[in-house]
Amino acid sequence: MWSNVVPRSRWLFVLPLFGASGVLFWLSSIPDFSTPDLGFSWQDKIYHAVAYFVYGLAAQVAVVGWSTASTSLRAQAAATILIGALYGLSDELHQTMVPGRDGSLADLAADVIGVTASVILLPAVRRLLRPRP
């Protein structure tokens, strides 16, 4: 049934998102997970933002791959941020159930900032790399 509605190649676009989701879930499942010390108290927010920046890139691949020609860039950006925010929320809730871990709104904010940064920076990078006439 689905093969008539959605071309098989479209499913390939979600593979990076599934992979990134799996890696984040695995990392969130590690009790008492510690990261290298950067020398300041809010360093974990940097790690969250960087991880979700990468997650945002994977989400953009999925969103663009499933978008139609009439889907606006603004709608694609909103969908990407929504996917990242919802996964970030589920990730923070998941961490509350892992011994030695906790979820927080500040971590969720860092997650959303990371995804949003990927949405903002990807078009800028594309413009820089585009050959000029």
Each residue's pLDDT expressed in tens, for the chain with a length of 133 residues: 344 545 667 788 899 999 999 999 999 999 988 887 888 888 889 999 999 999 999 999 899 888 888 888 899 999 999 999 999 999 999 999 999 888 899 999 999 999 999 999 987 766 665 666 6
CB 83 within 8 A of CB 114: no
Instruction: Classify residue 15 as left (phi > 0), alpha (psi -120 to 50) or beta.
Output: alpha
Nearest to 27 by CA among 10, 50, 5: 50
What confidence score (pLDDT) does residue 6 get?
Answer: 54
Cα 5 from Cα 23, distance rounded (Å): 30
